[in-house]
Amino acid sequence: MAKKKADSDDIIEPLGDIDKVIHEPARLMIMSVLYVVESADFVFLRNQTGLTNGNLSSHLNKLESVGYVEVEKKFKGKKPQTILKLSVQGREAFEVYRKKMEDYRKKMDQALTGLSEK
């Protein structure tokens, strides 16, 4: 019985140090979109994530405050435009996050395979 607990602790352990800033669902959506594009304007990001203006703005402020997102405010003609992109630090943090989640998924697959073989 103690062996099973140790095995489950080994499986769950990698999630203990997961980046909680990225792991929050709305911020994960934002980071995922920004990871696959060079940059995006606020309206595009809002449409891709389905977040409200206020919610998106709030999460972007958090991501900017930890250095994951760079925000550039400019004008396109007479209209204000906000351009967003992942910083180098944000891109690296997202890659680490993805690797940890993939490692966790693999450990879960191994654990489930081990259970089904017993």
Class of domain 20-117: mainly alpha
Q: For tokens 């450990």, what's the residue?
A: 107
- What percent of the chain clears pLDDT 70, i.e. is strictly above it? 84
Span 25-43, pLDDT tens digits: 999 999 999 999 999 999 9
This prediction has a pTM of 0.83
Q: What is the pLDDT of residue 13?
A: 64
Q: Are 81 and 42 in contact (CB under 8 A)?
A: yes
The residue type of 20 is K
The overall average pLDDT reported for the chain is 88
